[in-house]
Amino acid sequence: MKLIKKIWIIFVRLCGWKLLLPEEGTRSELNRCVFVVAPHTSAQDFIFGAAFLWACCSNGKVMIKKEFFFWPLGCFLRALGCIRVDRGNKNNELVDTAVEAFDANEFLSIAMTPEATRKPRKVWKKGFWQIAKKANVPIVPAYLDFKNKTIGVFDTIYPSDDLDADLKKVRSLYKKEMAKYPEMFFELNEA
C-alpha cells in the first residue's frame, strides 16, 4: 500500500495542488495527533486530504462514514488504513476505540472532519476534541484551500479543560473561501 499512497500523492501534485509540508523534524506531533480537516464540502476533500496525511505521517488513518465501505471500495479503504465510522449509532464507542488505538500505537495520527458531513452544518461534532483530550494528544487543524490549491496545517492546539473555547479556537481558523463549495460552509461568526 505504500506504493499506492506514493502514487496518490504524485497524482494530487500533478493536479496542481501544493502540499505545504512542515520542514522535516519541526513538527514531531504530526506523528501522534488528531487532525481536524476542514472545510469539508466535497468528496474530493478525501482525495487531497489523504495525500497530505500520508505525505507527513508515518501512520495516518482517515475516519470515513460506513456507507463508503461497500465492495470493492471498502476493501481498498481498509487496506489504506481508513477507519469505518457508523455515524447513526450513538453507542458506537468511537471515542473509546480511538483512544485505545492511540494507547496501542506509538505513532498514530487520525484525520477527521468535524462537520461530519459535506452538507452545511452550523454545529461541529465534538468527537475530535474528546479523542484528543482522552488520549492526551494534540489537535492539528489541517486545511484544504481549493481557491489556492494548497493543503497545510495551522498551529497545533493542545486540548484545555474548556471544550467551548478550544472549539472556537479551532473553528475560527477556517474561512468560506477555502471550501470547494463556499456556500456549504459556515464560518464561526455565522454559526
Which residue, chain included where needed, has cell 452544518? 121
pLDDT at 130: 94
CA–CA separation, 191 and 186 (whole Å):
6
Q: Name which residue leads in pLDDT, 85 or 99.
A: 99
CA–CA separation, 122 and 185 (whole Å):
8
Angle (CA) 123-124-130 rounded to 5° is 135
CA–CA separation, 25 and 81 (whole Å):
24
Looking at the predicted structure, is the pLDDT value of residue 21 above 90? Answer: no
pLDDT at 29: 86
What's the pTM?
Answer: 0.88
The residues pairing with 141 across neighbouring beta strands, listed in sequence order, are 36
Q: Name which residue leads in pLDDT, 108 or 24.
A: 108
Residues 36-40 have a mean pLDDT of 91
- Each domain of the chain, given as residue ranges in start order, spans 2-12+30-183
Residues 8-12 have a mean pLDDT of 89
Q: Name which residue leads in pLDDT, 191 or 165.
A: 165
Share of the chain above pLDDT 90, in %: 43
Q: Name which residue leads in pLDDT, 122 or 162.
A: 162
pLDDT at 1: 65
Residue (of 125, 122, 132, 123) closest to 161 by Cα position: 132
pLDDT at 81: 80
Strands (E) in 5-68, as ranges, are 18-19, 32-38, 60-65
Report the mean per-residue pLDDT for the chain: 88
